[in-house]
Amino acid sequence: MSWQVDVLTLFPEMFPGFLGMSLAGRALKEQSWTLKTHALRNYGLGRHLAVDDTPFGGGAGMVIRPDVLDTALNDTLSDDERPVLYLSPRGRLLQQSDVVRFASGKGIYLICGRYEGVDERFLENRQIEEVSIGDYVLSGGEPAALVLMDSCIRLLPGVMGSDQSADEESFSNGLLEYPHYTKPAIWNDHAVPDVLLSGHHAAIAKWRQDQAEIITRQRRPDLWHAYQNRLHIENDHSHLDSDATCQGKA
């Protein structure tokens, strides 16, 4: 069964966008994932099919109406097993662990905002999870939806060449990835690290782990501290487990 994405948007023509190409595009053709867009404009009100209105309390911009969104979502929901996500700069920052959670389910519903965003009552009433792709403001949820979809689709079975590629990537084990090198072995007087030419698999694995730790410590102290805390907790648990085993034997 394919992984299904339903997108509520004012700009359905923005989909599948770049996801119609390369690995995701092939996976779409092979129906590893399926896409349905739902044009919010079809649920617009009055002669002009209005979807938005001015904000109560004044201020610049327009806000997408809750009644329009509610009807559109009711019409779109076909099962309650997929999370409904609103792309929003106020949302929780998307993490690789969220991506793994979304990709391992049946799919997702995505709501793309525009203008100043959407009426708060709609989000509260429907208990919608807000997801941000970064601490910056885009002009609409569509590019954010495509980014979120891309991060999930590449994890679907068979989409990437080797499952191992995902296991060793940045964030999958709490660390940034080690550096990569390819031919030529010497380029502009720079040689690749000797160990990578040694054919010694254990030494290569150790070098990569060390490099991943160094890079994470230098570039992302936040990830490095979280990684160390996790290691301490795992070590404490394994001591407790071995103590319990020793006491059991005594």
Ligand X SMILES: C[S@@+](CC[C@H](N)C(=O)[O-])C[C@H]1O[C@@H](n2cnc3c(N)ncnc32)[C@H](O)[C@@H]1O
Chain contacts with ligand X (rule: CB under 6 A): 87-90, 112-114, 116-117, 132-134, 136-141, 144
| Interatomic CA distance for residues 27 and 209, integer angstroms | 32
Q: Which is nearer to ligand X, 134 or 184 (CB)?
A: 134
> Cβ(205)–Cβ(199) under 8 Å?
no
Cβ distance to ligand X smaller for residue 27 or 146: 146
Q: How far is the CB of 209 from ligand X (least distance, A)?
A: 33
Nearer to ligand X, 13 or 81 (CB): 13
- Which of 24/111 has CB closer to ligand X? 111
Check if the beta carbon of residue 72 is closer than 8 Å to that of residue 38.
yes
C-alpha distance from residue 23 to each of 84, 151, 159 (Å)? 25, 12, 6
Burial class from Cβ neighbours inside 10 Å (0-12, 13-18, 19+) for residue 163 reads exposed
The closest residue (CB) to ligand X is 113
How many angstroms from the chain centroid is the CA of residue 105? 13
Kindly state the smallest distance separating residue 125's Cβ from ligand X, in Å. Answer: 17
Query: Residue 6 CB, nearest distance to ligand X (Å)?
Result: 16
Least distance between ligand X and beta carbon 38 (Å): 15
Q: What angle do CA 86, 87, 90 make, to 5 degrees?
A: 100
SS3 93: strand
Q: Is 129 strand, coil or helix?
A: strand
Minimum distance between the CB of residue 119 and ligand X, rounded to whole angstroms?
11
Give 11 or 171: the residue with its C-beta nearer to ligand X: 11
